[in-house]
Structure 1
Amino acid sequence: MPAASGASSATMNTRNSFSSSWLGSSPSRQSPVRQSPQRNALRSSRGSLLSDSYESPTRKLQLEFTNILSHSDREFHKKLDQDAAERARLHEEQLARAAREHQRVLEDATREMERIKLEDENERLRKAAVQETELQRLKEQKMREQAEAQQRQLEAKLREEQVAREATEKQRRIQEAAERAKAQKEQEEAARRAKEEQERRAREAAAAPPPPVAKPPPAQALATPSAPAVAAPIPTSAPSTSLAPSADIVEVHKKYLTLHRSMKQFRKQFLAAHKHPTDPLKNIIGEARRNMNKRMGQITVDIEDSKKTIKSIRAECFDVAISAGGPMIDVRPYLISHQITNDADAQYPELLLYLWIMFEKYLVKQWSHEASKEDGRIITQLSLIAASLYLDTKYMSKGTVTMTDTLLAKLHRVCPMLFGIRGNTKTDRAGLGLDKVQPNEADHNAYLQRMFGVGAGYAALTHRKFAQKPPAIPISEYWRAVVLICNTPAEALYPAHFMTLQGLLRDNVRKFLATYGVAAKAVLRRATFDLPNRVPEPRAGVKEERQGLHAAASLVRVLPDVWQAKDNINIR
């Protein structure tokens, strides 16, 4: 061990140092243990002489000094051994610490390796999940693209079929016109020959002049029936070419527009009066309005869902308006078709009137939104809910007068062609409900879609009947709307007329025929054949508006084919 080596070295140095210091000294200064072998041999050969020297005091001192040196040497070696042992102990401790540090480093390295392996595994799983998600997305995208491609193919096929039908119909009309012209020419030729023959015979016989020919009776405009059992005949001649509607139609329209402005002013004043945070009606108004908007957007084709929605609108909106109290208002300025003479009967809750105005706003908006769907079942459900609310005696004025005039005022504003209003789309846009339509294709298409939705909603509302209750709006008003559009001169027509007419007719033909029978079939022929045929064919250089008019007329022209294919209804 290093300690032993160190001890031996120290011993050797000590011995060498003592030997060298004693070589030139006297015998009395030398230690017996430090003498060389030659001197020991000399001492043994001189035994007798040396024995005497041991007995001398000097020899004793040498012995004592030698003992002291030996003791010092032992102590020195002992200390060297202790130092070597201490260094060995420290060395062992350092080795132990090094071993512990090595073990700690090994454990840390092991944990780090496990952590790295776990991270690698997590990263692998994450990449696998991302890859799976991407594969799923690509699969869904591919399926969506395939569905869109199939939809485009179907639409292209439908367009081709429509074009083919239009071409066939056009060819049929051309042939019929040619046949009519030929028949008319033959009749004229026969009449001419008969007249010549008659004149010849008259000259020969010197008879009296021929009797006068009776003029045909003038064409009568389409009549609006007051009851389903009484239906006016439908003339085949063209309507009057006057652009302006009759005076009574304009007068009624002005009254409803005035009512609409009053409703708008009332709504603003009502909200301003209850906007303060401490007002007891402020939170009730906001909650009722939000619930109404939310429920109107939850209507589906499921009848049970519609019943739940009606209950929710009643409980969360209209019943709350009745139970909340609040100020009352004279309702007579908001009625046109009904009269109330008693002041007490004319008192109506302001909150309930406000909710009717908001309901009509949301109803028209939802009609417009659902107009993009292929069928009108949701629009029908919306109209069912509206009719149910309007006919509920709890929400009438004194249980007898409905609030449908507020809805009609809204419709007079957004869709005046329902009520026979005509005009120039360039100079009278406000009067035709076009003042908020921007001159761009997207806004114009949204407007046409809204007109279709309003027509469909109005038709469903007039056809909705309940047991032992009159309809909210009589079906005779539906007849009137269709006839007024049919009587519109060709020069006053614009695309909204045909979009509204399509909404009125598309999903209500069966009920209309069931109500009016043959007279209804005559009106339908007038609406789907005569009216579209009055629109001239598009030509190069014609304004874009006229091109859109022809496209809108085509949508009405194909309705008989749709009814024939879908419901087996033939109106020809």
Structure 2
Amino acid sequence: MSRTRSLSTPKISRHTTDVTTSPYRLATDSPSRQLQWELQQLAISSQKQFSAQLDREDDEREVLHREALTEASARHDRIRREAEQLRKQLEQQVQAERRRREEEAQKENDRLRREREEQELAVKKRQESERARTAELEAKRAAEVKRTEEEAAERRKQDQERRDAEAAQKLKEEQAAEVRRKDEARAAEARAKQSAVTSQQAQTAPTTKVSTQPAHQVTQLPQPIPVNPQWEEEHQRYLTIHQRLKELRNGMASQAKQNPELKQAMGDMRREIRKSVGQLREGKGANSNQLKNIMDILKKAATLAEPSVDITLYLASPPRQVNDPKGPALLVYLLSIFAKAIVAQFVDEAGVKPQIADPIGTVASHIFAISDLRWKEISLVDILIAKFHVVCPVLFGIYGDEQSVQGKQRLGWSKEEDGGPFVPQQRHFERMTGLGAGFAGISLKNYEKARAKNPYPDHHYWQAIARIANVPSDQITETHLVVLKGMIEWYEVKFLNFFGDAALAVLRYVLVELPKRSPPSIAAKALAGLVDVLKRQKKLVL
């Protein structure tokens, strides 16, 4: 360390020199000499003090410097230790973060692997399910074709039997007429002979009163009450539409086999429609997503002009003059799938819980009301109604003998399987309850505040009740009564809102008078029991 001297003049004390040490302490000494000596001593003393002061300052500075160096070294050691600790902490954090990322990456890989396995498993199950469903549909289709052929053969056989019976009846009537003519001739001859004998006896004996009986009495067999021909003709038109829809499905399936893209699109759309319909449930806004999915699929199908089909074949009352009757076949196909799924929901869900038929019917009505899904402003709701004509004919005035096979078929009895026995009575009644409620859920819809046009107005509901109520008393079956109960229960308020006092009169007749003139049965008691239910729950007195 370099030493720096101060250039300032040291401050000399007046009492620095000790007089006792001066060699000129005697009075006889020269004052100048004495002063000179003192000045010399003073200079020497000041220099020593100055040097001593510098030495002391140097020593103090050195001590301070050493202390500063020691403190700096300690501070540096402390900072180094802190930095080392911080480095170790950072390394630990980096290692922990790396381990965490590795664990997260491993978990993500495991999750992706599980999802991929689940997706593969789901795809495999879906493929297996689709194959099984396809096989089932093929089997049902084959059974349906077989059943149709058998029904056609049965109808031909029945027609032949009817013609034979009519011919036999005509022959019998002709023979009876011939017998009557012969009997009348013999009777006339006998009367003539008797008159001759009587006139001869009158001359010889008293007059005798003779009473005669007809020689031959013809007994007429009771004739069955005919079905309303207009209703029957309408029913047959809808059955024809249903058969054409089956043929369309078969035709689309054949085209799909030749066009893989069409097959994939048809399969995806069909599955999505069935899934969405199967998810319909009660609650405000509960079916908005399902409705949107179905609408999107059908609107997409409506934009595909090819393959095309004659739309008038699927209308019960097509327009007389149409320039171009063609329309998108895929739309008609998917509407048929949609209608079939809706009816299945009515059968499976509303048969046990009739009130759920209302939200399902709302979705069905909305779909057939959409302008984009109409053909030349005509709703294709006949596709859905054709299905109702097949599964629940009594809604349209059809009746038959519930104890015969043909009568059950006309009344809409389903079979356990194609060619098998009919379903049990309880299951049949559940089906009819669901279908009656479903028909009400479709037809009792208020479109006054909607921009869309009602595809199936409320007068169809009135017409269905009227046709069932006007069935001859001896032709009323339990099926009619069960369907009526399904149509009225949970829908009486809507019925009254639409038709007012007229609806009240109909309810009074259907629930009070009709069960009285019907054959005694559980269904008649259940229908009549709605009177007390309405009185208790709705304060409606009939």
TM-score (norm 1): 0.52
TM superposition shift of 1:353: 0.4
TM superposition shift of 1:324: 4.9
What residue in structure 2 maps to residue 258 of structure 1? 240
> What is the distance in 2 between the residues matched to 1:513 and 1:423?
30
User: Is the Cα–Cα contact under 8 Å of residues 515 and 525 in structure 2 kept in the other structure?
Assistant: yes
The one-letter code matched in structure 2 to 1:386 is: A
The answer to whether structure 1 residue 401 and structure 2 residue 381 are counterparts is no
The one-letter code matched in structure 1 to 2:323 is: D
What residue in structure 1 maps to residue 457 of structure 2? 474
TM superposition shift of 1:435: 6.0
User: Is the Cα–Cα contact under 8 Å of residues 351 and 435 in structure 2 kept in the other structure?
Assistant: no
What residue in structure 1 maps to residue 391 of structure 2? 414
> What is the distance in 2 between the residues matched to 1:320 and 1:536?
52
TM-score (norm 2): 0.55
The answer to whether structure 1 residue 508 and structure 2 residue 491 are counterparts is yes
Q: How many residues align?
A: 314
SS in 2 for 1:357: helix
> What is the distance in 2 between the residues matched to 1:257 and 1:244?
20
- Aligned with 2:301 (options 299, 305, 321): 321
User: Is the Cα–Cα contact under 8 Å of residues 239 and 390 in structure 2 kept in the other structure?
Assistant: yes
What residue in structure 1 maps to residue 482 of structure 2? 499
SS in 1 for 2:327: strand
- Aligned with 2:349 (options 348, 351, 370): 370
The one-letter code matched in structure 1 to 2:534 is: W
The answer to whether structure 1 residue 244 and structure 2 residue 226 are counterparts is yes
- Aligned with 1:269 (options 251, 255, 258): 251
SS in 1 for 2:309: strand
The one-letter code matched in structure 2 to 1:267 is: R
> What is the distance in 2 between the residues matched to 1:450 and 1:309?
24
The answer to whether structure 1 residue 560 and structure 2 residue 531 are counterparts is yes
Change (3 A) 1:325 1:247: closer
SS in 2 for 1:280: helix
**Greater relative contact order (CA < 8 Å, ≥ 6 in sequence):** 1
SS in 2 for 1:412: helix
**Please, which runs of 5 or more residues in structure 2 have no aligned partner?**
1-222
> What is the distance in 1 between the residues matched to 2:290 and 2:239?
31
What residue in structure 2 maps to residue 176 of structure 1? none
> What is the distance in 2 between the residues matched to 1:450 and 1:374?
11
Q: How does 1:75-154 map to 2 (within 5 A)?
A: none
What residue in structure 1 maps to residue 434 of structure 2? 453
- Aligned with 2:262 (options 263, 271, 281): 281
Change (3 A) 1:417 1:243: farther
TM superposition shift of 1:424: 1.9
> What is the distance in 2 between the residues matched to 1:371 and 1:303?
18
User: Is the Cα–Cα contact under 8 Å of residues 244 and 423 in structure 1 kept in the other structure?
Assistant: no
Change (3 A) 1:441 1:284: closer
Q: Residue by residue, what CA displacement relative to the aligned partner does 1:498-543 show, whole Å, maximum 9, x if unpaired?
A: 1110111011111111222221111111111111112344xxxxxx
Q: Residue by residue, what CA displacement relative to the aligned partner does 1:130-170 show, whole Å, maximum 9, x if unpaired?
A: xxxxxxxxxxxxxxxxxxxxxxxxxxxxxxxxxxxxxxxxx
What residue in structure 2 maps to residue 105 of structure 1? none
TM superposition shift of 1:461: 1.0
Change (3 A) 1:388 1:457: same
Change (3 A) 1:503 1:375: closer
> What is the distance in 1 between the residues matched to 2:416 and 2:518?
24
TM superposition shift of 1:325: 5.0
What residue in structure 1 maps to residue 165 of structure 2? none
Change (3 A) 1:559 1:396: same
> What is the distance in 1 between the residues matched to 2:248 and 2:421?
33
TM superposition shift of 1:462: 1.0
What residue in structure 2 maps to residue 203 of structure 1? none
The one-letter code matched in structure 2 to 1:526 is: Y
SS in 2 for 1:472: coil
User: Is the Cα–Cα contact under 8 Å of residues 456 and 503 in structure 1 kept in the other structure?
Assistant: yes
Q: How does 1:188-203 map to 2 (within 5 A)?
A: none
Change (3 A) 1:435 1:380: closer
SS in 1 for 2:506: helix
Between stretches 247-256 and 467-476, larger displacement belongs to: 467-476
User: Is the Cα–Cα contact under 8 Å of residues 281 and 326 in structure 1 kept in the other structure?
Assistant: no
> What is the distance in 1 between the residues matched to 2:484 and 2:224?
20
TM superposition shift of 1:306: 1.2
What residue in structure 2 maps to residue 484 of structure 1? 467
TM superposition shift of 1:281: 0.8
The answer to whether structure 1 residue 423 and structure 2 residue 400 are counterparts is yes
> What is the distance in 1 between the residues matched to 2:275 and 2:395?
28
SS in 1 for 2:411: coil
The one-letter code matched in structure 2 to 1:260 is: H
User: Is the Cα–Cα contact under 8 Å of residues 256 and 408 in structure 1 kept in the other structure?
Assistant: yes
The one-letter code matched in structure 2 to 1:565 is: R
Change (3 A) 1:372 1:327: closer
> What is the distance in 2 between the residues matched to 1:435 and 1:515?
33
The answer to whether structure 1 residue 360 and structure 2 residue 339 are counterparts is yes
TM superposition shift of 1:340: 5.6
> What is the distance in 1 between the residues matched to 2:313 and 2:421?
38
The one-letter code matched in structure 2 to 1:488 is: V
> What is the distance in 1 between the residues matched to 2:445 and 2:465?
17
Change (3 A) 1:351 1:374: closer
The one-letter code matched in structure 1 to 2:255 is: A
The answer to whether structure 1 residue 462 and structure 2 residue 443 are counterparts is yes
SS in 1 for 2:509: helix
TM superposition shift of 1:356: 0.8
Change (3 A) 1:519 1:437: farther
Q: Residue by residue, what CA displacement relative to the aligned partner does 1:89-123 show, whole Å, maximum 9, x if unpaired?
A: xxxxxxxxxxxxxxxxxxxxxxxxxxxxxxxxxxx
